Structure 1
Amino acid sequence: MMKDTELNRRDVLKSAGGVGAAGMLGLAGCMGGGGGGGDAPVEVLHGWTGGDGQTAAEALEEAFNEAHPDTELDMNPIGGGGNQNLDAVVANRLQNDNPPSSFANWPGPNLARYEGVLGDISDLWEEAGFTDSHVDEAVDLHQYNGAFRAVPLGSHRLNCLFYNTAVVEEAGVDPDSLTSASDLLDALETVSSETDKIPMTHGGSGTWTKAQLFGVMLLSTAGYDSYMSFVDGSPNRGDVVAALEALATVFENYINEDSASIGLTESNQNIIEGNAAFIHQGNWAAGAYRNAEGFDYNEDWGFKTFPGTEGLYTLHFDSFLYPSNNPSPEATRTWLEFVGGQDAQIAFNQYKGSIPTRTDVDMGEFGPYLQETAEDFANADQRPPNIQHGLGISAEQRSQLNDVIASEFSGPYNVEAAADGIVDAVSN
């Protein structure tokens, strides 16, 4: 099967606007031809450097080295939440015609930002049997312009609410009783009045956490149909306003005072250390809990589907992409075939707080929380795509949405202006 070994300059420039200022104007310089020899090391860039991710990435590396001792692997972690620093490094590498062998990123609409830069690995998918062994959404979302461009490693869930068991018990709050956004706000008020703990810890040093929380609040307050209209480019402004009003109540009254200066990892420590009652994050937060000594599921921490989103599983994938101008094409294909296999998906996901995208993995090694997550995935009424991590809206729309949140919804919380900007950002 013919590979994409030539980059189309016009396509590359077209993708530049959707990835922010560090952005992908760098992509315009990536005009190289075919890659290097098959004996070159596989250089893999990823963003898993702490908390939930470092242990998982190390387990993945160890499993690959054990399975393929004759293929040299150079894992290169790039720190920073929400892939922001990773994206900038990838952009610079592509600009300088020095692509890595593969890099972690998101599939779906997010792939459009790399149009003309990613190679066609459809033959790898066919030879490895991935179309039959992975969930349908993974098969659909890892294709772009009629060809497979990436391989999935695991699936995260975004509509999660985690809590410290001791803190909610001290407050007299029953998380299982929370079935709406208004229930959640009432619970946060109870924690505030009955304890000296943080009702909802939030790491807001990066805009992505606010945008992610907006997405789940919109799903909670507006429902599945309105949420899907939003991601499809036909947002209901009234529903956007209602979600933002609920968020403003949270941010103005119930989050930690140092929220603006800390990130996800530090915020999640407030749950582990018993300083906070609740946190909203994807289920990578549970990966950090699993890796924390003496912090056990259903004893020290618990999980609740984000109130108002029961029966839904907000979908997110961790994936590895294949640059067409590849420095180690054959060895990179070895890496990608491994990523989509059982051994990699077991090694990585059990520590990352995610579940395999393969349908034939024994969940016995994953612990009770992830076993329950896999059951929720299988039994979900709907699996709506997330907004912040590549599956629901394009990179350009996400960048515009984040700019609006940074300018209008980072304190003071200007609901009307933010609603106007968000509606404009995603409208067709």
Structure 2
Amino acid sequence: MLKLSKLAAALALVAAGTAAMAGEVEVLHYWTSGGEAKSVAELKKIMEAKGHVWKDFAVAGGGGDNAATVLKSRVVSGNPPAAAQIKGPAIQEWAAEGVLANMDPVAQAEKWDSLLPKVVADVMKYKGNFVAVPVNVHRVNWMWANAAVLKKAGVAGMPKNWDEFFVAADKIKKAGLIPVAHGGQNWQDFTTFESVVLGVGGPKFYSDALVKLDQKALTGETMKKSLETFRKIKGYTDAAAPGRDWNLATAMVMQEKAAFQFMGDWAKGEFIAAGKVPGKDFLCAAAPGTANAFTFNVDSFAMFKLKGAAAQKAQADLSAAIMGTEFQEIFNLNKGSIPVRLNMNMAKFDDCAKLSGKDFVETAKTGGLVPSAAHGMAISPAAEGAIKDAVSQFWNDDKISVDEAQKRIAAAAKTK
């Protein structure tokens, strides 16, 4: 009897241990479009295979502003999710509030410091400790095009600078098609604007103006020229652009209604999800004048402090899964980005991704690798929001002069 009771006790301990291993993991994200939703489903599968319960907390809105609002209310009420999609300087702001978990035990076990470029690892840390997990690297300064539309309009290849671009845009307009598919939302306006600034002024000017927020750069002639170029692009968009979601603008390029779109490589995920072939159905190139530069946007999940061993174990498993080779490959193939993890096998990736990977490495050596201001990687959320609004107001209101817009952007850059 004694032996049986010992066995029963041992079995009870095993059962308790197994129950403690499995936990619920609630993930707040804003990946709701085709290629993105497919990627999230893969992460859910990996977690469920480990015995955890996945609780999806998706908040629509491509720029993530809606998700940020929802997250604040959850954290303030003392009920944070296990992980939330947060990136760039916003990670540091959340960490400073004392609500993020120290993920160093997982990071050390999984050797994250040796698997990540230092510039990326530093963004994921607060006071030397990992508090967030990177998912991928997006290149923001892409220009996408429909090969059939370019052929129909007599445009030979992708324009390499802004002068070539406007010549091509005129041909496309003449052919009765929309030159630029654009979604009129403030983050999309800012995405186009930063590529224009990079193409007109180069990486050093871009860094001075939109990363360091240097007043001399913001009020100078190069910024004036950037704003003039930006306004000129507006003339090649369609009247229905205001309020359009980015993936609907991508669909216009897919459906041969429009020629070009300025958007990060998450747009490629939409093409791929629709069965389109890069190099044949659609073309990719760096935005005009930016071939030797790379504006990066690293998606990441910040990990919040949780109570309970089961919840913490599920969170640790989620962190390890995000950085694992299986998810890094599947996710980035679906999303259109490239793995953030170094030394990944890129054999399954298309030519656009291979070019992105090559340029990422090369620009890191030349100084052309710069954080995206429009996508939360470069400046404080307050300054980013103020500049984004000023840029969008200029885009939407033709009565605002270039000089006035320049003054407004320079003033917005001082926002704390």
TM-score where L is the length of structure 2: 0.88
SS at 1:186 equivalent = helix
SS at 1:278 equivalent = strand
**TM-superposed deviation, 1:82:** 0.5
Do structure 1's residue 145 and structure 2's residue 132 form an aligned pair?
no
Do structure 1's residue 102 and structure 2's residue 83 form an aligned pair?
yes
Partner of residue 366 from structure 1, selected from 349, 353, 357 = 349
**Does the CA-based 8 Å contact 2:39-2:335 persist in structure 1?**
yes
Partner of residue 426 from structure 1, selected from 399, 413, 416 = 413
Report the CA distance shift for 1:157/1:138 in structure 2 as closer, same or farther (over 3 A): same
Partner of residue 214 from structure 1, selected from 183, 193, 206 = 193
2:281 maps to 300
**TM-superposed deviation, 1:365:** 2.3
2:16 maps to none
SS at 2:347 equivalent = helix
Distance in 1, matches of 2:412 and 2:100, equals 26
User: Could you tell which deviates more after superposition, 123-132 or 365-374?
Assistant: 365-374
**TM-superposed deviation, 1:413:** 5.7
Letter in 2 for 1:422: I
Letter in 1 for 2:104: S
**TM-superposed deviation, 1:96:** 1.5
Distance in 1, matches of 2:188 and 2:245, equals 9
**TM-superposed deviation, 1:281:** 0.2
**Does the CA-based 8 Å contact 2:374-2:384 persist in structure 1?**
yes
SS at 2:371 equivalent = coil
User: Could you tell which deviates more after superposition, 224-233 or 322-331?
Assistant: 322-331
**Does the CA-based 8 Å contact 2:43-2:321 persist in structure 1?**
no
Distance in 2, matches of 1:91 and 1:38, equals 29
Partner of residue 130 from structure 1, selected from 109, 112, 135 = 112
1:229 maps to 208
**TM-superposed deviation, 1:38:** 6.7
**Does the CA-based 8 Å contact 1:164-1:276 persist in structure 2?**
yes
Partner of residue 416 from structure 1, selected from 386, 393, 403 = 403
CA RMSD of aligned residues (A): 1.8
Q: 1:68-92 CA distances to partner (integer Å, 9 max, x unpaired)?
A: 2x22222222111211211111112
1:159-198 to 2 correspondence within 5 Å?
159-176=141-158, 178-193=159-174, 195-198=175-178
**Does the CA-based 8 Å contact 1:63-1:343 persist in structure 2?**
no
**TM-superposed deviation, 1:106:** 1.2
Do structure 1's residue 317 and structure 2's residue 276 form an aligned pair?
no
Do structure 1's residue 388 and structure 2's residue 365 form an aligned pair?
no
**TM-superposed deviation, 1:323:** 1.3
2:243 maps to 261
1:32 maps to none
**Does the CA-based 8 Å contact 2:47-2:53 persist in structure 1?**
no
SS at 2:385 equivalent = helix
**Does the CA-based 8 Å contact 1:248-1:413 persist in structure 2?**
no
**Does the CA-based 8 Å contact 1:405-1:418 persist in structure 2?**
yes
Q: 1:273-320 CA distances to partner (integer Å, 9 max, x unpaired)?
A: 010000000000001011103x21111100111111112111110111
Q: Percent identity between the aligned chains?
A: 24
SS at 1:343 equivalent = helix
Q: Which has the larger radius of gyration?
A: 2
Do structure 1's residue 113 and structure 2's residue 93 form an aligned pair?
yes
**TM-superposed deviation, 1:260:** 0.2
User: Could you tell which deviates more after superposition, 408-417 or 379-388?
Assistant: 408-417
Report the CA distance shift for 1:247/1:81 in structure 2 as closer, same or farther (over 3 A): same
SS at 1:53 equivalent = helix
Report the count of equivalent residues: 384
- Which segments of 5 or more consecutive residues in structure 1 lack a partner in the other structure? 1-36
**Does the CA-based 8 Å contact 1:355-1:370 persist in structure 2?**
yes
SS at 1:43 equivalent = strand
In the TM superposition, structure 1's runs of 4+ consecutive aligned residues that sit over 4 Å from their partners are none
**Does the CA-based 8 Å contact 1:99-1:326 persist in structure 2?**
no
Do structure 1's residue 278 and structure 2's residue 260 form an aligned pair?
yes
Distance in 2, matches of 1:297 and 1:420, equals 41
**Does the CA-based 8 Å contact 2:190-2:392 persist in structure 1?**
no
**TM-superposed deviation, 1:325:** 4.6
Letter in 2 for 1:85: N
2:24 maps to 41
